Amino acid sequence: MSAISLEEYLSTVKIGPRQYHNKAGILSQTGGFCKTLNAKRVVISGGVKARKSVASALHSSLEKAGIPYVEYEFVGESSIENIEALNALIDSFNADLVIGVGGGKSIDTAKNSADRHNMPIITIPTVAGTCSCSSPLSIEYTNEGIYSRDYYPANNPNIVLVDPELLIHSPIVYLKSGILDSLSKWYEGHESIKGSSNADMFDKMALGISDYLFEQIMEKAEDAILANKAGKINEAFTDILNQIFFVTGVIQALGVKAVRNGIAHSVHNGLTVLPESHHLTHGEKVGYGILVQLLLREGESDTYKEYLSLCKKIDYSPLMEAMGLHIQQLEIHKIAEKVVSDPLMKRKPFDAIKSEDFEKIIKRIENVQG
């Protein structure tokens, strides 16, 4: 099965995964979840570290359920090459279910392959960097890490398994990434819906949910970061995981016509033309995109100041130099050209923005002359 078209995607209302579980020790039940999906043979896809972190509970559960499995080693990008290699393993093993383990790009690869085989998928996030584990979207990149296109699976992942005891020990940079990526749904949604010509009731529902998400993140993000640093689960940490993985995915699914599209993610995609940006998390680049969007559309408003205040609380600096990127005029031009070529920027109300507008804002942020 190939991806559905953008038109089909926009005309189909999705909500979220069929099941979502956030519970300590939940991975020990994976075999049982596989059986509810009538799985007989399973491919586990993920990077070395991610698969190692879940191996004991996951392997034991599958073996206890009598389900044979094989593993695919994800390395690099959610590229066509990785997708095709995973497809080949699924075919040769005669698998009927994929378990995607890891971060956003690893899980996007697994979702892509599962959809192409018209088979169910269970996702197990090992970092809290994005909502990929529950969202009805898979992003494709080149092997060099440059944004290529959006791939639209026919369905959301079937089951999402979140173990907070695993995630509390993951690097803090990923939790910051997830917080920023989730926040972008509020900033992008409120800006994009203003001039959209095709917003419907579901987009308005998504926008309402994003208001709740925004309030929760503003209230609890700092405490969640502190919990992650201390390695001790608290209510704020658990709640923020749910906002990142589930609530953000629901917003993305419901608000696909007019809430999902926005400047922040297009700026993220623009930054991917810089090879030196590829070590950054998804959310770090999206966080920079939020800053660009706010200055471009509102200037130094109260919303802009509030955003900078949150960035300070979670110890994130939305400046390229702070993120290890040293750019000049040529790089800024390349970024801006990539931003305006992004599919999301070709939809109202952003279709009139020119690359020169982005160049001007980025120069202002980075204090680049010329």
* CB-based burial, 256-273: b 16+ in 10 Å, e otherwise: bbbbbbbbbbbbbbbbbb
Name the residue with higher pLDDT: 300 or 6: 300
pLDDT at residue 295 is higher than 70: yes
Candidate from 64-73, 153-162, 196-205, 286-295 with smallest mean pLDDT: 196-205
pLDDT at residue 1 is higher than 60: no
pLDDT at residue 259 is higher than 70: yes
Q: Where are the alpha helices (DSSP H) in the chain?
A: 6-11, 30-36, 48-64, 80-93, 104-116, 164-167, 172-192, 201-230, 235-242, 248-254, 263-271, 282-297, 302-313, 329-340, 355-366
Do 155 and 258 belong together in one domain?
no
The predicted pLDDT at position 344 comes to 83
* Mean per-residue pLDDT, 33-58: 98
Do 254 and 355 belong together in one domain?
yes
Do 182 and 108 belong together in one domain?
no
Indicate which CATH number applies to the domain containing 99. 3.40.50.1970
* Residue 215 phi, psi (nearest 5): -60, -45
pLDDT at residue 327 is higher than 80: yes
**What is the share, in percent, of the chain residues with pLDDT greater than 90?**
83
Residue 237 in domain: yes
User: Tell me: the pLDDT tens digits for 116-157?
Assistant: 999 999 999 999 999 999 998 999 999 999 999 999 898 899
Do 101 and 226 belong together in one domain?
no
Count of domains in the chain?
2
State the Cα–Cα distance between residues 95 and 98, nearest whole angstrom: 8
The predicted pLDDT at position 6 comes to 62
The encoded tokens of residue 325 equal 């990127």
| Mean pLDDT rounded to a whole number for the chain | 93
How does DSSP assign 116-136, residue by residue?
A: HTT--EEEEESS-S-STTT-S
Last residue of a domain, one of 167, 200, 227: 167
Are 22 and 51 contacting, i.e. CB atoms less than 8 angstroms apart?
Answer: no
**Secondary structure class of 216 (helix, strand, coil):** helix
Do 152 and 251 belong together in one domain?
no
The predicted pLDDT at position 326 comes to 86
The predicted pLDDT at position 277 comes to 93
Do 23 and 57 belong together in one domain?
yes
User: Tell me: the pLDDT tens digits for 216-249?
Assistant: 999 999 999 999 999 999 999 999 999 999 999 9
Residue span of the structural domain in which 17 resides:
6-167
DSSP state of 237: H
Residue 1 in domain: no
Name the residue with higher pLDDT: 229 or 6: 229
Give pTM, 2 decimals: 0.94
SS (H, E, C) 254-321: HCCCCCCCCHHHHHHHHHCCCHHHCCCCHHHHHHHHHHHHHHHHCCCCHHHHHHHHHHHHCCCCCCCC
Are 336 and 356 contacting, i.e. CB atoms less than 8 angstroms apart?
Answer: yes
**What is the share, in percent, of the chain residues with pLDDT greater than 70?**
96
* CB-based burial, 25-42: b 16+ in 10 Å, e otherwise: ebbeebbebbeebebeeb
Last residue of a domain, one of 167, 201, 234: 167
CB-count burial class (<10 Å; 0-12, 13-18, 19+) for 366: middle
Last residue of a domain, one of 138, 167, 196: 167
Do 75 and 184 belong together in one domain?
no
Candidate from 34-48, 63-77, 227-241, 250-264 with smallest mean pLDDT: 250-264
